[in-house]
Amino acid sequence: MARSANIAAGRPEPESRPICSEMVDLVRIHRRSDVRRAAEVFHSLALEAGMRAAPAHDIADKRTPIDQHGNILACDVFGWNAERAWWRNSRIALDSPLTAACRFTSEPFWVNAEGFRTRQPNSYLAAIDLANFEARAMTRAAIVVPVHLPFGQIGAVSFNPLDPDCTDLDEAFALHGDAFGLYARTFIASYVEVVGVRQALPPTSRLSKREVECLRWAAIGKTDQEISMIMCRSRPTVRFHIHNASTKLNAVNRSQTVFKAAQLGYISLGR
C-alpha cells in the first residue's frame, strides 16, 4: 500500500506532531490506582486529534480494560455509549477486519472499506476480506495500533474519527500515527503488566542449547527417532531434552512446549 495519498500525488506530507515524553509518562500505568488517570490522559490525547480511542488489552478476550473499581473504561472514560458498545459484540474478535489485521502486523495502520494503508507494504493485509466493512468493523474508518505482547497476547487500540462521516484518515495518520503508536503501546502494555493475568513460568525456565535444538526440529514435524538421527543422539536422549523443556515451560504436552518456546523467542515457527 502507498504510505500516503500525498506522496502518491507528489505533495509534501503534513508535518507530524512531535511526541511528548511527558504525555508518554502520563499514559503509563504503575499501579492499579493509576489506571483511570492514565486512561483519561489517553482519552484527551485522542480527542485533541479528533478521534475517540477504543482500547483492548487482548483481542482474544471478551473483557475490556477496567479501572481499579471494576468500571469499564470504554464507557466511563472513553465515551462509548450502549449503542456502540463494541466490547459486547462476541463476534468482533473473529469477524472484524481490524482485529484480523492486528494478527498480521505490529505497525500502526489506517483502514476503510477501500483498503489498508500502512507505512510499509504488507501482503497479508491486502488479503483480508473487507466486505460489509462498516458493520463488521463498527466504524467507517479507523487508525489502529496493534500491541504485540509477551506470550503471544495481542492488544489493540482503534482510533475512530469523531465525525462519523469521515472515511479518509490519510492526513490524520500522517500527523498522528507514530504518536498514537507510542501512546497506545505504553498504555496497553503497562495496563497488562499491572492488571492483566500473568503467564505462569517456573523460575528455571531458561532452555539449554540442546533443548532448543530438539524443539527446532520438533517444530517442523520431526519425530524423536528422526531428531535422534539428525543430531546423532539416542532417541531416549532426545526425549529427555524435550521433556526437560516441557517441565521448564510448564507445558502439558509436546505441542504446547513447542508453542511456548516460540512465544518466548527460543525457536521460530516460520519457514
Residue 200 placed within a domain:
no
Alpha carbons 155 and 185: distance in angstroms, whole number? 9
Q: Give the single-character DSSP code of 163.
A: S
CB 119, CB 79: distance < 8 Å: no
Amino acid 177 reads G
Alpha carbons 98 and 167: distance in angstroms, whole number? 15
- Please tell me whether residues 166 and 221 are part of one structural domain: no
Alpha carbon distances (Å) from 266 to 38, 111, 152, 244, 259 = 34, 34, 13, 14, 10
- Please tell me whether residues 110 and 173 are part of one structural domain: yes
Residue 24 placed within a domain:
yes
- Please tell me whether residues 233 and 161 are part of one structural domain: no
- Please tell me whether residues 176 and 51 are part of one structural domain: yes
- Please tell me whether residues 241 and 118 are part of one structural domain: no
From first to last of its 271 residues, the chain has per-residue pLDDT tens of 434 444 444 445 555 667 778 889 999 999 999 999 999 999 999 999 999 999 999 998 878 999 999 999 999 999 998 777 777 777 777 789 999 999 999 999 999 999 999 999 999 999 999 999 999 999 999 999 999 998 888 999 999 999 989 999 999 999 999 999 999 999 999 999 999 766 666 666 789 999 999 999 999 999 999 999 999 999 999 999 999 999 998 888 999 999 889 888 899 886 5
- Please tell me whether residues 215 and 149 are part of one structural domain: no
Number of domains composing the chain: 2
Q: Which domain holds residue 68?
A: 5-195
Q: The CATH number of the domain where 256 resides is what?
A: 1.10.10.10
Residue 269 placed within a domain:
no
- Please tell me whether residues 37 and 170 are part of one structural domain: yes
